[in-house]
């Protein structure tokens, strides 16, 4: 009975090997290289461990026959030991040189710079991600938040910055970690080989809501990506229904406009996530809640119960104002 329980318990962690945020379920070259390294290390070190443990067990069982005086030197044996030690030293030098060469070759491949790649600036804030798509043409630049779309099979260059404390960009299925450090810019190249949504997470403790600082990377074919980008570049469409028109008015008369931006309107705050196309994103509050009517309403009414300490304040809102406001935000596709 106990043995069966132990087996079940040992199998359970295997569940962690799959999913949209797993370093062992990789979909990009950088993460695959890390995964290969992980399995190589695991098998080599595992083998060495078993070997060592075997030797220890053996030496506990068998004893060397007594009789030899350890102070008497044997010239043949001495020279044999000399050879062994110089062999080990030479082997160490060769190993270090080989590893240096290998590391250089693989890093050269990983950090290769290309000029024509899609460049995205990611800025860490407590506790969300600002995403600026860069382009040499000014009318192709735009800002969004917490959701990064990339074309499949192409390298994408990320410029990582921070506005307050140190954060760390980590999408386990696509890449290793890279810190976002205030006052400097780190770069990271990512690539997704397969279509899909991959979850990312801040990997450097950055304060109270560090655990709720998630993001989504959506990899899709080039044509679909271009369509998405054209839509994101557009200003918000003016509301058509009466309810949404009222919602827009409520949005402008409340503290929302002090921090949030809706492009194409007078709301121009730049210190909180850009809401121009918030309805098209899959999650709100940095990967905390799926974008649904109920969740948007809950987040507006009481953000401090969902993410205590977040910079979104509790605002005064009348019960009959909530529905139109949610309709307005939900419709910003």
Partner 1 sequence: MNRIVAPAGIFLLLVLGACEREERAFRADPIATETEEKIALVPLSPGSGPPVEHRTGKGKEYEDNAYHVAQGKRLYTWFNCNGCHSNGGGGSGPPLMDDRWIYGGQIENIVQTIREGRPNGMPSFRGKVPDDQIWELAAYVRSMSGNVAKDVAPGRNDDMHPRPAENREPDSPPVAGGSIPPSAEMPQ
Cα-Cα-Cα-Cα dihedral sign, residues 189, 194, 196, 200: negative
Using the rule CB under 8 A, which residue among 255, 264, 290, 294 binds partner 1? 255
Cα-Cα-Cα-Cα dihedral sign, residues 262, 264, 269, 274: positive
Q: Which is nearer to partner 1, 221 or 308 (CB)?
A: 308
What's 261's DSSP letter? B
Q: Which is nearer to partner 1, 211 or 258 (CB)?
A: 258
Q: Which is nearer to partner 1, 210 or 254 (CB)?
A: 254
Q: Which is nearer to partner 1, 125 or 220 (CB)?
A: 125
Return the residues of window 261-320 that contact partner 1 according to CB under 8 A. Answer: 271, 302, 304-305, 308-311, 313-316
State in angstroms the smallest separation of the CB of 314 from partner 1.
5
Using the rule CB under 8 A, which residue among 35, 132, 164, 179 binds partner 1? 164
Return the residues of window 180-219 that contact partner 1 according to CB under 8 A. Answer: 182-183
Q: Which is nearer to partner 1, 2 or 316 (CB)?
A: 316
Q: Which is nearer to partner 1, 82 or 255 (CB)?
A: 255
C-alpha 28/C-alpha 219 separation (Å) is 11
Using the rule CB under 8 A, which residue among 33, 254, 279, 297 binds partner 1? 254
Contacts of 278 (CB under 8 A, 6+ apart): 284, 291, 329, 332
- Does 45 bind partner 1 (CB under 8 A)? Our answer is no
Polymer length of the chain: 333
Q: Which is nearer to partner 1, 42 or 315 (CB)?
A: 315
Question: Per-residue string for binding with partner 1, 82-121, x by CB under 8 A?
Answer: ----------------------------------------
Phi, psi of 216 (to 5 degrees): -130, 130
Cα of first residue to Cα of last residue in the chain, in angstroms, is 55
Q: List the one residue out of 215, 53, 51, 199 whose CA is nearest residue 130.
A: 215
State in angstroms the smallest separation of the CB of 170 from partner 1.
23
Residue 105: count other Cβ atoms within 10 Å of its Cβ: 10
- Does 257 bind partner 1 (CB under 8 A)? Our answer is yes
C-alpha 285/C-alpha 260 separation (Å) is 13
The site that binds partner 1 (CB under 8 A) totals a number of residues, namely 21
3-state helix/strand/coil string of 279-330 = HHCCEECCCCEECCHHHHHHHHHCHHHHCCCCCCCCCCCCHHHHHHHHHHHH
Strand partners, 162: 124, 182
Q: List the one residue out of 173, 160, 155 whose CA is nearest residue 34.
A: 173
Q: Which is nearer to partner 1, 152 or 259 (CB)?
A: 259
Q: List the one residue out of 204, 202, 205, 178 whose CA is nearest residue 190.
A: 178
Using the rule CB under 8 A, which residue among 33, 166, 233, 259 binds partner 1? 259
Residues making contact with partner 1 (CB under 8 A)? 164, 182-183, 253-255, 257-259, 271, 302, 304-305, 308-311, 313-316
């Amino acid at each position: 009975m106990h043995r069966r329980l132990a087996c079940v318990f040992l199998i359970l962690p295997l569940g962690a090997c799959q999913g949209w945020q797993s370093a062992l379920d990789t979909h990009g070259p950088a993460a695959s290289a890390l995964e290969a390294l992980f399995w190589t290390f695991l098998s080599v070190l595992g083998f060495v461990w078993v070997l060592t443990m075997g030797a220890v067990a053996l030496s506990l069982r068998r004893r060397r026959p007594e009789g030899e005086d350890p102070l008497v030197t044997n010239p043949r044996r001495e020279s044999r030991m000399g050879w062994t030690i110089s062999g080990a030293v030479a082997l160490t030098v060769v190993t270090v040189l080989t590893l240096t060469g290998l590391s250089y070759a693989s890093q050269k491949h990983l950090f290769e710079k290309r000029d024509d790649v899609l460049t995205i600036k990611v800025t860490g804030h407590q506790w969300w991600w600002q995403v600026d798509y860069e382009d040499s043409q000014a009318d192709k630049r735009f800002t969004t938040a917490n959701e990064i779309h990339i074309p499949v099979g192409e390298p994408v260059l990320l410029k990582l910055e921070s506005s307050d404390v140190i954060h760390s960009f980590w999408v386990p299925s696509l890449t290793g970690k890279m810190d976002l450090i205030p006052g400097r810019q780190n770069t990271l190249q990512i690539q997704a080989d397969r279509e899909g949504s991959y979850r990312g997470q801040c990997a450097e403790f950055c304060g109270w809501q560090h655990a709720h600082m998630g993001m989504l990377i959506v990899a899709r074919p080039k044509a679909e990506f271009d369509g998405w980008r054209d839509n994101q570049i557009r200003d918000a469409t003016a509301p058509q229904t009466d309810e949404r028109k009222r919602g827009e008015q409520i949005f402008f008369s409340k503290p929302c406009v002090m921090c949030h931006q809706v492009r194409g309107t007078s709301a121009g705050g730049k210190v909180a996530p850009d809401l121009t196309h918030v309805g098209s994103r899959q999650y709100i509050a940095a990967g905390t809640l799926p974008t649904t009517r109920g969740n948007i309403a809950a987040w507006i009414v009481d953000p401090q119960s969902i993410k205590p300490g977040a910079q979104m304040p509790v605002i005064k809102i009348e019960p009959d104002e909530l529905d139109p406001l949610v309709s307005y935000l939900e419709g910003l596709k």
